[in-house]
Structure 1
Amino acid sequence: MTDKNTRHKKSMEKQKAKVDDKIAKADEERGVVILLTGDGKGKSSSAFGMVMRSIGYGHKVGVVQFIKGVQLSGEEIFIRDKHPEVDFYQMGTGFTWNTQDRDSDIAAAERTWVEAERMLQDDSLRLVVLDELTYMLAYKYLDEDTILNAIKNRPREMSVIVTGRGGGSGIREVADTVSEIKDVKHAFRAGVKARQGVDL
């Protein structure tokens, strides 16, 4: 047992030294761009986890939800009821396969982008979430260069989280961190209804 404990201690000491070295080398202080993508569940949930984290530190936060907004969600209830100080805007048209009206969807996306661009220029915001923005690029509802330039030219201390499937390589290139969530198994495909507090 003593030998096992000794080996474990030495292994953890080496690991700690590596982590400490990486922390020491990370000396640049600025906001980051995070892309949460992939076919799996949890992209928006992860983004709202970071919203809660940022609020916890007393930071000002902005959230723009593309696509969503017809069906009430838990995150909307939480923000509107508990944190009205969050700058929160929803496109409000629902999913594109529900509207089936491309011109109307483009007009809604453009109106919503005006609000997103305003937030991306607001140096009082430490975090801006652009939820489901990648769909707007995938469907070509918004101009990619306009979006990328706005993200690149945001205030230095602002972090931006972009969520959604697809959307091309442009966002990946400007992002500092890219996480791809893989769809391994989903209850919905087994006939289980979406559940409040988990899916909604």
Structure 2
Amino acid sequence: MSENTETGNDDARHAAKMAKKKAARDKIMSTKTDEKGLIIVHTGKGKGKSTAAFGMIFRHIAYGMPCAVVQFIKGGMETGERDLIMSHFSDICEFHTMGEGFTWETQDRSRDVAAAQAAWEKAKELIASGEKSMVLLDEINIAIRYDYIDVNEVVDFLKVQKPDMTHVILTGRNAKDEIIEIADLVTEMELVKHPFRSGIKAQKGVEF
């Protein structure tokens, strides 16, 4: 058998295999007709939780869909996402940096609690209005973990008061079981390697 014949047979087998896979996939997709506002959780010890969430925010911006970001922890730290949104897309995406920094920087629990509570009030306002198609609650899982915000209050609000078509993203490691339970989509970032362990600091354009 010539090489061309073997290649032709391989191509035919591949085409048949892919056609079968496409038919099966199309059959599955034909049953997926519903739409709803999703509760999305990005958690885990790995890097990329907020980065992936901002990818969704920028996707919303690209489609001209109104959205908002509330940052619960990051405060004075410069971030490229915030600078880009506030300088070019503030008409379609509200951005609220409510935290004062990481807890070990403020070293003042009462201030941290007050900042987190203020952020949560702003988050509830943005979500409940129904005017935003997506609201990102960046690092809220950390605020919940430290009991700056009551997890049961967050769960009850999202279950009862979130508009049906509003997407809400909650980021931060150590997401509580109660949050994961009500979520529609949960992604856990797994840490395999991180440059910090090799003495490399957070770098502009990569981490922030």
Q: Which band: TM-score by shorter chain?
A: over 0.9
> What TM-score do the two structures reach when normalised by structure 2?
0.93
Whole-angstrom distance in 2 between the partners of 1:22 and 1:78: 39
What do residues 128-183 of structure 1 show as CA deviations (whole Å, max 9, x unaligned)? 00110101111111111211122222111111111110131011111111111110
**TM-score with structure 1 setting the length:** 0.96
1:6-64 deviation per Cα after TM superposition (whole angstroms, max 9, x unaligned) = 22112211221222122211111211111111110001000001001011111000111
The question of whether the paired residues in 2 share the 8 Å contact of 1:136 and 1:167 is answered with no
Is 2:191 aligned against 1:157?
Answer: no
**Corresponding residue of 1:190:** 198
Q: For residue 46 of structure 2, what is the aligned residue in structure 1?
A: 40
Match of 1:83 in 2: 89
Unaligned 5+ runs, structure 1: none
1:64 paired with 2:67, answer: no
Q: Are 1:143 and 2:146 matched, yes or no?
A: no
The DSSP-based 3-state class of the residue aligned with 2:51 is helix
Matches of residues 124-135 of structure 1 in structure 2 within 5 Å?
124-135=131-142
SS in structure 2 at match of 1:121: helix
Separation in structure 2 between the aligned mates of residue 100 and residue 197 of structure 1, nearest angstrom: 28
Q: Which amino acid aligns with 2:140?
A: L
Q: What SS does structure 2 have at the residue aligned with 1:148? A: helix
d(CA) in 2 for partners of 1:8, 1:38: 38
Moved over 6 A (4+): none
Instruction: Confirm or deny that 1:177 pairs with 2:185.
Output: yes
Q: CA RMSD in A?
A: 1.1
Which residue in the other structure is 1:11 paired with? 17
Is the 8 Å Cα contact of residues 120 and 150 (structure 1) preserved in structure 2?
no
CA distance in 1 between counterparts of 2:128 and 2:71 reads 17
Instruction: Please list the CA deviations of residues 62-93 of structure 1 after superposition, one character each: whole Å capped at 9, or x if unmatched.
Output: 11111002111101101110111211111231
Higher Cα Rg, which structure: 2
- Give me the whole-angstrom Cα distance separating, in 1, the residues matched to 2:28 and 2:166: 23
Identical-residue share of aligned pairs (%)? 41
The answer (yes or no) to whether the contact 2:45–2:173 under 8 Å persists in 1 is: yes
8 Å Cα contact 2:98/2:116 also seen in 1: yes
Q: 2:114 matched to which residue of 1?
A: 107
The 5 A counterparts of 1:12-31 are 12-31=18-37
Whether the 8 Å contact between 2:72 and 2:115 is mirrored in structure 1 is no
Is 1:168 the counterpart of 2:176 in the alignment? yes
For 1:123, the equivalent position in structure 2 comes to 130
CA distance in 2, matches of 1:18, 1:34: 27
How many equivalent pairs are there? 200
Alpha-carbon spacing, 1:137–1:92, altered in 2? closer, same or farther (3 Å) = closer
